[in-house]
A and B are shown apart, each in its own frame.
Chain A
Amino acid sequence: MSERSQRRLPVPTPETQHFWDGTKRGELLLQRCTECDGVHFPPRPFCPACGHREVEAFAATGRGTLYSYVINHTPNPAFDGPYAIAVVQLDEGPRMMTNIVDCEQTPEALELDMPVEVSYLDASDEITLPLFRPAAPVEGPA
């Protein structure tokens, strides 16, 4: 349970509260512009592609690929040994920083472009963090 208290947890703002409410109930929310269909992250109540002020939140698939990472070897009380700080490429387009769980934290196990899927960590009573774990490749349509 040490993780629950040791991570530096966010304090949501009015513009990001919906995202953190989403992770709490197991949804990874992105936002889509109602004008240009652009999808963006991190959350903001307008479109960074066109400036339109109407955007709608939607639940992402939670699937993506491992885009890049480092394996931090400096001890961190919130983690047990060296750990990867990763960026995943979401299927919907945006990238987000995360950790890769259920996986050895080694260069051999953490293969770039491997498929990953979201896995939630209840880090506190208020905050659930979106982490990712290795996923089986998606099968083509039957």
Chain B
Amino acid sequence: MRADHIAVVGAAETTDLGKTPHISQLGMHADAALNALADAGLTIHDIDGVATAGERPTDIAHYLGIVPRWVDGTSVGGCSFMLHVRHAAAAIAAGLCTTVLITHAESGRSRVGTGRGGGGNRSSLPAQFEAPFGSMGPPTMFTIPVLRYMKDHGLTHEQLANVAVVQREWAGMNPRATFQDPITVDDVLDSRMIAYPFHLLECCLVTDGGGALILTAGERADDFAQPPVYVLGHGESVETPMVSQMEDFSSSRAFKVAGTDAFASSGITHADVDHLMVYDAFAHLPLYGLEDLGFCERGEAGDFVWEGNTRPGGSLPMNTNGGGLSYMHSGMYGMYALQESVRQMRGTAAAQVPGAEVSVALGVGGMFAASGCVVFTNQRPD
């Protein structure tokens, strides 16, 4: 095995997801970390690298009692954890550390211990040139490019709604999913209008929760309690903090850069992919992801999902935990997409894709501001 092959040897979410006002955000980081350590059969003293977003690595290392010799506080939104995986893989391969803990947790719903933030900078470019026009967070901003996409590519309201319908099908197979009851396209279109053309059921949940991953060198990975999940390739990029300034309203440049590099570095083709996670804060994101990763031609993703390709039994099972639309979404959802990829590669997912050997997880940060992409496999690399 190449020295630069890295494996996930520990992976876990917080004990509870959903509404957890009894525990702070920092507390959930620790809960997820301790769960992941137990999963790997490791202790705090085995960890020498720490990466996190939302909180600082300093806070996490101190709280857990870790003495790191490598830290990464890359914080580019919900895909930060994909970037952490990539950076950790490079750091381990370079000998900077041996065993990295990546944590996420967010008291997104209960807001317990979430002191920082608050958007105080009224001089940033988004504050000067977007906020004055009445933006009210992601539901009013992430959604802005979609009417352009719909007009240019003929995507219908029904096709957009159908993304949420298919993901609810997956959520119905997952006992931990927040919403499990089946829904129809009409249910979605009849749900409350949030920001036209987006209805409530086309927008993600807001919940509490967290997750953690532990990575080490692939050559050590057979010594752990769980079957290893190898990191086969990865990519990352950023575009703009202002959704109004993205180059192409029908495509994410960051998705394309991250995805292209992830496929190239892993040496896989699209036909090799058995399972796909595309961060779905809103119903259009999986459509952009399918196209920007090259699974569909421009403008064809709506048809692709409508034809059932991403649903249970389809050719490309996607967002098999139910996604941010139905499973959970704390705010920085990327960690949950990674967790589901790892579960699928271990063969332990609630809605397991039979025989899946390659999983791709594509994350987004901010409003099309950033992206990270990771390719996993359960097959020992050469």
Task: Tell me, yes or no, whether A60 is within 8 Å of chain B by CB.
Answer: no
**A76 to B194 alpha-carbon distance, docked (Å):** 12
Task: Tell me, yes or no, whether B43 is within 8 Å of chain A by CB.
Answer: no
- Min distance, Cβ B190 to any Cβ of chain A, angstroms: 14
Contacts A85-B140, A97-B133 given; indicate if A10 touches B127 (C-beta within 8 A).
yes
Q: What B residues does A78 contact at CB under 8 A?
A: 134
Task: Tell me, yes or no, whether B197 is within 8 Å of chain A by CB.
Answer: yes
Q: What A residues does B125 contact at CB under 8 A?
A: 42
**A93 to B144 alpha-carbon distance, docked (Å):** 19
- Min distance, Cβ A19 to any Cβ of chain B, angstroms: 8
Task: Tell me, yes or no, whether B135 is within 8 Å of chain A by CB.
Answer: yes
| Chain A 65-108: CB-based contact to B (< 8 A → 1; otherwise 0) | 00111111110101100110111000000011111000000010
Are the C-beta atoms of B134 and A85 separated by less than 8 Å?
A: yes
B238-252, CB < 8 A from A: 242, 244-245, 249
Are the C-beta atoms of B128 and A112 separated by less than 8 Å?
A: no
Question: Which single residue of chain A is at the shortest CB-CB distance from B148?
Answer: A68
Are the C-beta atoms of B132 and A9 separated by less than 8 Å?
A: yes
Q: For A72, give its contact among B128, B195, B245 (CB under 8 Å).
A: B195
**A59 to B127 alpha-carbon distance, docked (Å):** 22
Task: Tell me, yes or no, whether B130 is within 8 Å of chain A by CB.
Answer: yes
**A42 to B128 alpha-carbon distance, docked (Å):** 9
Q: For A42, give its contact among B133, B141, B242 (CB under 8 Å).
A: B242
Contacts A9-B122, A42-B125, A112-B151 given; indicate if A68 touches B249 (C-beta within 8 A).
yes
Give residues in B with beta carbon < 8 Å to A: 122-123, 125, 127-136, 139-141, 143-148, 151, 192-198, 242, 244-245, 249
Give residues in A with beta carbon < 8 Å to B: 7-13, 16, 41-42, 67-74, 76, 78-79, 82-83, 85-87, 95-99, 107, 112-113, 123, 127, 129
